Amino acid sequence: MQQSGKQIYKRLLTYTYEFKIAAFFAIFGMLGYAAMDALFIQLMKPFMDDGLTQGNQDVLAMAPIVVIFLVLGRGIFNYMSSYCLSYVGSQVVRKLRQQLYEHMLFMPVSFHDKHSNGELVSKITFDTEQVQQAVTRALQVAIREGAFVVFLLWGMFAISWKLSLLFLVIVPFVAIVVSIVSKRFRKISKNIQDAMGAVTRGSEQMLSGHKEIHGFGGQDKEIEHFATVNNHNRQQRVKMDATRALSVSVIQLIAASAMAVVLAIIAMPDVHETLTPGVVASLITAMVMMLRPLKQLANVNSDFQRGITAARSIFEVLDQEKEKDTGTHKADSIRGEICVENVTFTYPTKDEPVIENLTLKVPAGKSIALVGRSGSGKSTLSNLLPRFYELDTGKITLDGVELTEYTLTSLRKQFALVSQHVTLFNDTIANNIMYGLDEPLSEEALIKVAKQAHVWEFVKDLPDGLNTEVGENGVMLSGGQRQRIAIARAIVKDAPVLILDEATSALDTESERLIQEELEKLMVNKTSIVIAHRLSTIEKSDQIYVLDKGKVLEQGKHDELLEKDGAYAALCKMQYGE
């Protein structure tokens, strides 16, 4: 059930409880600032009636001193409220941003499949900024200008309650306008957020796929697409500003009408004879001064609605369930026996199962290979073993214990995955190799690993060696170099189960032969699952499974399968051109 704006704002305010002292001083400063302004108008009555009309020299002499003290007090209260509110707002945003980042980090892989990176980045950056606007600027205007209106009305009632009561007739009309406009602001705010997500998504797509865009001459298509989303974003902002301007004008018109009625009554001979110049001046000044805070209060509504919409979008992510980690079994070391029993699995974004009723067994310390056409479910298994996804039916056991019974940390420690899609962090080569280690390796140990994975061959000539920055996702390196770093990472992790998913697909034949030798050394006494298109890399496997549409077509050793002259033999003939 979707939370109301009021519930969202209440929840947002719970983030300020930790900083309640600063929040108290911020509110105190805002009320003090409003009081100074209202007091200035109140003091006009004695200044005009006693000072100017009756010529009281003491009142006239005090006037400049009072003005200086009021302005000084106003300045102090303004600094106090602005600084403390900015402190509270920035702390709330820091806390929200950190919480959002950590929550996304622990979300299941299926969550990230459904949401684009641009959309999620927009929540961490743009949406949290909108929340800060609601917590700081909007709250400041709401409390300060709201208090100013209350103080002005209180002053007006003290001067002439009958005339002030007439002015109060405007309140229900203003409330109706604010209520109607709030709904529209909320709707437009949601549209602005969606449009901003589309802008971020389009920008990210252009930056990450610029080579493909240049290669296929897609510049015009991308420019046209971005122009559309960019213009949609502009239209929504114009709608927001137009609604805001209209609401301000309507509220000021209502207030001015009430003011006109009061002025008309003051102009009546029976009434103005009973009023002193000070009373009339104070009343008119108070009413005129009230137009400014009413305008700002009408304006601030859009900031509140934007903040509430942004907070709702953030809380929607925070309220989603994190990756399930209900297992209690912890294993420091395992033998590595894997049993896949009647497993069916469908990706959250697909309708058809990618693996159907799959059964296979990997004895501890043995090597199996999975082959088959693209989309046959080979790589899916490498996602199911570390439990990146939950199974539809069936079970997978590791050393006889179901995967769901392991704690996620303990389970994932047992697997080292080298994939064809290598992710490198914007850091040094050394830190990428040692990623996830509790203790960094010594320089000698690191160089030894680099030589084993044939990383040293290209690193030794670089000016900074292993301390060379790889750029975002290893943009400075070739595909083959990135794959070697991934292999070095697997050597360092030294996990009992090794999954090689097209681990040498980006390497040339010579490099592949050398690295294959190192991988074979690494696979000794380890349970290995090798996913390969190049069949030459799996001839020595203890068991080969041929998959098709998520089912096992054939299984056996290389020679046995060739003798069968079935699907595997056909794949071999295709590759070796026989």
Domains annotated for the chain, with CATH where assigned, are 5-318 (1.20.1560.10), 338-576 (3.40.50.300)
Q: For 340, left (φ over 0), alpha (ψ -120 to 50), or beta?
A: beta
**The amino acid at 184:** R
Q: Distance between CA 5 and CA 193 in Å, rounded?
A: 16
Question: Rounded to whole angstroms, how far apart are CA atoms 325 and 231?
Answer: 44
Question: CB within 8 A of 361, min separation 6: which ones?
Answer: 337, 338, 339, 340
Element (H, E) at 319: none
C-alpha dihedral sign at 25, 30, 31, 32: positive
Strand-strand pairing, 543-548 and 367-372: parallel
Structure-token pair, residue 550:
């998520």
Q: Which residues of 311-338 are buried (b: 16+ CB within 10 A; e: fewer)?
A: bbbbbebeeeeeeeeebeeebeebebbb
CA atoms within 13 A on the CB side of 48: 16
- N residues, the chain: 578
The β-bridge partners of 546 are 371, 554
Supply the pLDDT for residue 171. 67
Nearest to 307 by CA among 4, 553, 12: 12
268: exposed, middle or buried (C-beta count within 10 Å: 0-12, 13-18, 19+)?
Answer: exposed
**In angstroms, rounded to a whole number, what is the distance separating the alpha carbons of residues 309 and 470?**
39
365 touches 337 (CB < 8 A): no
CA–chain centroid gap for 142, Å, is 28
Give the H or E element holding residue 351. Answer: none
- State residue 511's pLDDT score: 67
Of the CA atoms within 13 Å of residue 247, those in its CB half-sphere come to 27
Q: What is the pLDDT along the chain (578 residues), one digit of tens a residue?
A: 667 777 888 888 888 888 989 999 999 999 999 999 888 878 777 777 777 777 778 777 887 888 899 889 999 999 999 999 999 989 988 999 999 999 999 898 888 888 888 788 888 988 888 888 777 888 888 888 889 888 888 887 887 777 777 767 766 777 677 777 777 777 787 788 788 778 878 887 787 777 778 787 888 888 888 898 889 888 888 888 888 788 778 777 777 777 777 777 777 777 666 777 777 777 778 877 877 887 777 777 777 878 888 888 899 999 998 888 888 888 877 888 899 898 999 888 888 888 888 888 888 888 888 888 877 778 888 889 889 888 888 999 998 889 999 998 888 888 888 887 888 888 888 988 888 888 888 888 888 888 888 888 888 888 888 888 887 777 778 777 888 888 888 888 888 898 888 766 656 666 677 677 777 777 888 888 888 777 777 777 888 888 888 788 888 888 888 888 888 888 888 776 64
The single-letter code of the amino acid at 218 is G
